[in-house]
Structure 1
Amino acid sequence: MKLRPFASWPALMGGASLVVASLWPLQAHALFDDDEARKAILDLRQKFDAYRQDTDAKLGRLMNESRDAGTASQRSMLELSNQNEQLRAEIARLRGQNEQLARDVAELQRQQKDVQAGVDARLRQVEPAKVSLDGAEFTATPEEKRDYDAAMELLRKSDFAGASSAYAGFLRRFPGSGYTPSALYWLGNAQYANRAYKEAIESHRRLVAQYPSHQRTPEAMLAMANSQIELKDGKGAQRTLETLVRTYPQSEAAAAGRERLAKIR
């Protein structure tokens, strides 16, 4: 095989030049790609750093907000606890006031009852009350009843002088009392028992004249005749007994008067 001789140097240099010329765009393009990549990396790094900083800032804000929210929550819980304690204290205070008011109301009610009882007692001392005595019904004040009952008590004890004084005083104090006819009758009897016969006749005569329809009137006429007999006034006693029998024929006193008449005629 026959070898071909080397080309000339110029030709060789020209060919090299062509090779270099053909390779330059590739090298330039490769250098350009490296710069762009470095720039892209730098941009990406900057963006990453910015994103990280932004993320860190947001995370910090969230942590601060969470911390603030926790503090606010704790503060709210503390305020609620304080309000709850205040509410309990207020309820306890109101309960105490309610209990005190209940005691005050009970005390006022008791005092009102006492006052009402006192008023009722005073009214009973002055208000007239219905009385039924010796077949008659009437109203009398407590004072009238008290004085009349006091005179009757003296008579029951056989204190005839005291009873006479008590009945006489009663008739002066209460001249229009419904007790008057009964008081006149018992006054005459007390005077008779005390041997004050004239006074007894006068008391019984007042009863007969002023209250002819009273239940005690026939008995008063019989008592008058007895006083007249004690005074040796037989004619006067006879007239009194005859009037008794004629006026009240159905009375027990008239029956006793008839027997007495038979003895003195």
Structure 2
Amino acid sequence: MSLLMGFGKLNLRLFFVFAALWLFVQPSVAGLFDDDEARRAILELRQSHSDLKLSLERFQRATESKLDEDGKKTLEESATLKRSLIELQNQLESLRSDLAKVRGVNEQLAKDLSDVQKRQKDQAQSLDERIKKFEPSRITVDGREFLVEPQEKRDYDVALAILRKGDFSSAQLSFADFLSRYSQSGYRASALFWLGNAQFATKDYKESIVNFKAFIGLGADHPKVPEGLLAIANSQLELKDSKAAKKTLEELVNSFPGTEAASVAKERLARIR
């Protein structure tokens, strides 16, 4: 637009220059040349001025047309760019919305996965617990490790619980039944020991001696063997068999010196003598 105004000012300046020149030279030409020559010179000057004015007008129109075209093109490009920016902004908003949805879906998937994993863990744990009810387990009793069936362990624990409650008659029956059903059980030595104790408590001394001897016969390295020998000697004393009791007590003192049972045996021997 500034270029167009510049050309307009230039056109006016040229017009005034030529007008002044024409007024200035007109008297001079009249003095130098004859009328015909003066008229021709004036006509030529006027023609030159007209041609120049026409050229300037054409240039001005071309320039204005060019500026109009460029301005129109610029406006069109600006409008196109604006539409593109609006479209891009809409796409960005759509992407943000989609991203938020994806994040929401991911969060839900993560929660669902966590829930599934927890359920699987709980189910696996529950399954393990159910399987363990039917699988043998490795336990240690009185320093001895062995495998035991679930039902076998439950039956032994029930018999031992009855004994600890002081129901010696029922405990005697429970341990006898256990030994009958689980003759090869790793609990066998312990079951014989507690059966002998239950029988001693019910004053069944003869059977008590039998089961304590069976217990000792399974292995002299059992930690409760000294107690078993002392229990046999006590049963023999209750049966008034002092000779057998003395022999048992001496065996205890000689075989397991330093044990608590051996100390008790020494006291008993002193009273027997």
- State the TM-score, normalizing by the size of structure 2: 0.67
Kept in 2, the 8 Å contact 1:218–1:244? The answer is no
2-side partners of 1:124 and 1:253: how far apart?
43
Kept in 2, the 8 Å contact 1:222–1:240? The answer is no
The answer for the alignment partner of 2:145 in structure 1 is 138
* Letter of the structure 2 residue corresponding to residue 138 of structure 1: E
Offset at residue 190 of structure 1 (A): 1.7
Q: How does 1:210-229 map to 2 (within 5 A)?
A: 210-224=218-232, 227=235
Q: Does 1:255 align with 2:266?
A: yes
Change (3 A) 1:99 1:226: same
Change (3 A) 1:51 1:140: same
Offset at residue 112 of structure 1 (A): 5.8
State the identity %: 33
> Once the two structures are superposed, what CA deviation does each residue of 1:130-155 show, in whole Å capped at 9, x if it has no partner?
5353xx34345484654433212101
1-side partners of 2:246 and 2:90: how far apart?
107
Paired residues, number: 231
The answer for the alignment partner of 1:6 in structure 2 is none
1-side partners of 2:230 and 2:64: how far apart?
136
1-side partners of 2:101 and 2:123: how far apart?
32
Offset at residue 191 of structure 1 (A): 2.8
Larger radius of gyration: 1
The answer for the alignment partner of 1:14 in structure 2 is none
The answer for the alignment partner of 1:88 in structure 2 is 96
* Letter of the structure 2 residue corresponding to residue 51 of structure 1: F
* Letter of the structure 2 residue corresponding to residue 241 of structure 1: A
2-side partners of 1:61 and 1:70: how far apart?
14
Q: Does 1:205 align with 2:213?
A: yes
> Once the two structures are superposed, what CA deviation does each residue of 1:191-214 show, in whole Å capped at 9, x if it has no partner?
343455554333222112222343
* Letter of the structure 1 residue corresponding to residue 266 of structure 2: A
The answer for the alignment partner of 2:62 in structure 1 is 54
Kept in 2, the 8 Å contact 1:221–1:240? The answer is no
> Once the two structures are superposed, what CA deviation does each residue of 1:1-26 show, in whole Å capped at 9, x if it has no partner?
xxxxxxxxxxxxxxxxxxxxxxxx82
The answer for the alignment partner of 1:12 in structure 2 is none
> Once the two structures are superposed, what CA deviation does each residue of 1:31-73 show, in whole Å capped at 9, x if it has no partner?
3223323432332243133212212211211221121122022
Offset at residue 167 of structure 1 (A): 1.9
- State the TM-score, normalizing by the size of structure 1: 0.68
1-side partners of 2:169 and 2:107: how far apart?
64
Q: Does 1:244 align with 2:240?
A: no
> Once the two structures are superposed, what CA deviation does each residue of 1:82-129 show, in whole Å capped at 9, x if it has no partner?
122123213322332343344245435544653565477568765745
Q: Does 1:175 align with 2:177?
A: no
Q: SS where residue 131 of structure 1 aligns?
A: strand
1-side partners of 2:154 and 2:267: how far apart?
33
Kept in 1, the 8 Å contact 2:233–2:246? The answer is no
Root-mean-square deviation over aligned CA pairs: 3.5
* Letter of the structure 2 residue corresponding to residue 180 of structure 1: R
2-side partners of 1:246 and 1:68: how far apart?
123
Which of 163, 166, 186 aligns to 1:158? It is 166
Change (3 A) 1:127 1:111: farther
Which of 50, 53, 73 aligns to 1:42? It is 50
Structure 1: 5+ residue runs without aligned partners? 1-24
Offset at residue 216 of structure 1 (A): 2.9
Kept in 1, the 8 Å contact 2:230–2:249? The answer is no
Offset at residue 243 of structure 1 (A): 3.3
* Letter of the structure 1 residue corresponding to residue 249 of structure 2: V
The answer for the alignment partner of 1:10 in structure 2 is none
